[in-house]
Structure 1
Amino acid sequence: MSTRRPTLSVLDLVPVRSDQASRDAVAATLSLARVADELGYRRYWLAEHHNMPAVAATNPPVLIGLVAGATREIRVGSGGVMLPNHAPLVVAEQFALLEAAYPGRIDLGIGRAPGSDPVTTYALRHGAGGVSDEAVTRFPEYVDNVLAMMDAEGVAIGIQGRSYPLRATPVATSVPDIWLLGSSDYSARLAAEKGMPYVFAHHFSGSGTAEALELYRSAFRPSAELAEPRTFLTVNAVVAPTTEEAHRLALPQLLAMLALRTGQPLTAQQLVEEAEKVELPEPHRDVVEAMRSRWVIGSPEEARARIDELAAAYAVDEVMVHPVAGAHVGTEPATSPAREETLRLLAQAD
């Protein structure tokens, strides 16, 4: 385990507040990505979620192209592409093209979850030619297909006794780093078996992280691409000049996650002052406090110390921060100043 301070990265779901249109949320993400790039964050990953009023990250490849074009050095990737929603060749082509445009800067994170509700999942997979659970059960095969088609040599498919070459892009000179993502033991086992990098969704699950990482590390089989296990930690974070302000800024996202976990109607993320007016029943307050205890919320010194503790506890040298700070009434819609401040204060903390 490294004793050095962990490197910082960013996860972004492109949140949409009650005062924003989609274009504002995207503009705020591009500004946040530029801040992360300027501060020396290692990577910037964008999630895939569908039909959620508070999340505009519906199409990671499109967002990755926008973010990579707006930044200079930071690695940009998916956290992740939900592979059962898409044909493997389409994913391979998208990320091979991104790698060709931004060589050495693209990550492809692959997940198995739907990233949405069952009706939207049906619509996504019906369009891709599959309406059953076949895409989920064939996930390991689809991962192999993506890996093979993104190789510079491509893959040969046998058809009627002839070999048909298939490549994600012509004359590829490099390929993205490819990661498996998950929030259960399944992806940990699969990543270990295939010798792939792996990330557990600690920011979302909050439990089972230690067990999943131990399973991945203990079962890991070296591959041609990776000799040793490679992983990092994801955390929700809100950092402000004072602890009190950090907790105020965390409230809108806490209420959004409460709605998701308790089956309430999903809406755009509230502003801080809107969230402070919400009266919660006792059971819901307990859920919020349980989530709050797992997040990184506080002053720069408190937050950085907590991140260092988590990195040491899980034996990782990289922590991917999901900046979830809300916004006050009167904030310019195309900006997310508190999310940017979270990144700045963390990077500058001693």
Structure 2
Amino acid sequence: MPSPALSVLDLVPVRSDQTSGDALAATRSLAAVADDHGFRRYWLAEHHNMPAVAATNPPVLIAMVASATERIRVGSGGVMLPNHAPLVVAEQFALLEAAYPGRIDLGIGRAPGTDPVTSWALRHGAGGVTDEAVTRFPEYVDHVLTMMNPGGAALSVAGRTHALRATPHATSVPDVWLLGSSDYSARLAAERGLPYVYAHHFSGAGTAEALALYRDSFRPSAHLAEPRTFLTVNAVVASTQEEADRLALPQLLAMVELRTGQPLTPQRLVEEAEKHELPSPHHDLVTAMRDRWVIADPDTARGRIEALATEHEVDEVMVHPVAGAWTGTDPTRSPAREETLRLLGLALAG
């Protein structure tokens, strides 16, 4: 099996030495590296009210990244649809596709992407009902697909039929993907004949089962003739294993805090992380995460990624570059994250 194509997932992390503006500048630089090294796509997440994540608004970030790159596909990984009116999502991505035709992906998820209080502000605060939005998720996916179509939708109101289109004169539509970390989205993607991505980088369990369910249940559609999927994985690649291990530590500690319900903070610098004493009960959690992530020198990383692609029968792997930064790093750059992409791109192209 040939080496898989590479793509990027970016949560726009915010380190302890950065402002939100610094983190956005670092993302622009990271996207340029991905564009220059032949990566296939660059996706931006949606998370809210998190001290270490600036990816609160995927459409805004997609516009920023698409304008700073030349050829790479740019998309959402993903838009959490229950947080938004389907028409708003359709309008945003129809405009992005009009501005950057053939380069836009709309990845759609069902999770809240935040804590319960912020979820209330996003949904109830705008007049929505959380449970209803989740329950009606399949219907809302259909609405987005229909309204982005150049033909639009026809709505009957008070005995009259009204045309509803996401944008006046679309000539193309973005690719729409369903994202998930459970069987639910795998089943829905298969039923609707849509491409599907399982969040292997986040959960690490159930990937093979979800992909098998998707492939076995897939129904061809006007959107897609056969199943289409890829794999996501957290990655830190450096010139030596020792350096990769050190650069991975800030994100490992951040994920321990997230998984164990501790207060979240901006991402530590490497030296700050090395001074942190990890409680003994959490050592097994770190070990389990390390085993699922790609933390290695370039040759070892290449072997790990090719093995994952072969195991899960995919021709594309989306890496989430999670390398930290050293004290004194330029706040507007993420050199170790950029180096992860450079080294991986060269290793898999060689």
| TM-score w.r.t. length of structure 2 | 0.99
The percent identity for this pair of structures is 78
SS of 1:133's equivalent in the other structure is helix
Measured after TM superposition, the shift of residue 67 of structure 1 is: 0.1
Asked if 1:86 corresponds to 2:94, the answer is no
Aligned partners of 2:110, 2:72: CA distance in 1, in Å? 26
Cα deviations by residue, 1:6-57 (Å, 9 ceiling, x for unpaired): 0000000000000000000000000000010000100000000000000000
Question: In 2, distance between residues paired with 1:62 and 1:69?
Answer: 11
Aligned to 2:53: 55
- 1:58-100 deviations in Å (ceiling 9; x for gaps): 0000000000000000000000000000000000000000000
| Deviation of 1:132 (Å) | 3.4
**1:281, 1:59 → 2: CA distance?**
34
| Contact preservation (8 Å) 2:75, 2:107 | yes
Q: What is the root-mean-square deviation of aligned Cα atoms in Å?
A: 0.6
Task: Tell me the SS of whatever aligns to 1:180.
Answer: strand
Deviations 1:278-316 (A, max 9, x none): 111221111111101100010000001100000000000
Q: Answer yes or no: is the 8 Å Cα contact 1:112–1:182 preserved in 2.
A: yes
Matched, 1:332 2:330: yes
Contact 2:43 2:75 in 1 (8 A): yes
Match of 2:75 in 1: 77
* Greater shift in the superposed pair: 187-196 or 279-288: 279-288
Shift of 1:188: 0.2
Cα distance in 2 for residues equivalent to 1:103 and 1:281: 50
Taking structure 1 as the reference length, the TM-score comes to 0.99
2:209 is matched by which residue type in structure 1?
A: E
- State the distance in 2 between where 1:162 and 1:192 align: 35
**What does 1:149-164 correspond to in 2, within 5 Å?**
149-164=147-162
1:12 counterpart residue number: 10
- Per-residue deviation, residues 166-221 of structure 1 (Å, max 9, x unmatched): 00001100000000000000000000000000000000000000000000000000
Q: Kindly state the Cα deviation for residue 4 of structure 1 after the two structures are TM-superposed.
A: 1.3
CA contact (8 A) 2:89 2:144 kept: yes
**Equivalent-residue separation in structure 1 for 2:65 and 2:140 (angstroms):** 27
Given that 1:240 and 1:341 are in contact with CA atoms closer than 8 Å, whether structure 2 keeps it comes out as: yes
Secondary structure of 1:203's match?
Answer: coil
CA distance in 2, matches of 1:129, 1:99: 28
Task: Work out the CA distance in 2 between the residues paired with 1:111 and 1:191.
Answer: 11
| Deviations 1:92-151, CA, capped at 9 Å, x for gaps | 000000000000000000000000000000000023321331000000000000000000
SS at match of 2:130: coil
8 A contact 2:52–2:266 mirrored in 1: yes
Q: Distance in 2 between matches of 1:128 and 1:168?
A: 20
Residue type at the aligned position of 2:64 = L
Alpha-carbon contact 1:87-1:128 (below 8 Å) kept: no
For residues 59 and 232 of structure 1, the distance between their equivalents in structure 2, rounded to whole angstroms, comes to 23
Match of 1:267 in 2: 265
Question: Counterpart in 2 of 1:216?
Answer: 214
Specify which of 104, 111, 123 is matched with residue 109 of structure 2.
111
Equivalent residues of 2:82, 2:130 under 8 A apart = no
Matched with 1:304 is 302
In the alignment, is the contact (CA less than 8 A) between 1:86 and 1:128 conserved in 2? no
Match of residue 37 from structure 2: 39
Which letter maps to 2:271?
E
Structure 2 unaligned residues grouped into runs of 5+: none
Partner of 1:147: 145
Mapped to 2, the partners of 1:131 and 1:100 lie a distance apart of 31
- Quick check: 131-140 or 16-25, which moved more? 131-140
> Separation in 1 of the partners of 2:200 and 2:246?
22
- Distance between the aligned counterparts of 1:280 and 1:321, measured in 2? 26
Runs (4+) off by over 6 Å: none
1:136 maps to what in 2? Answer: 134
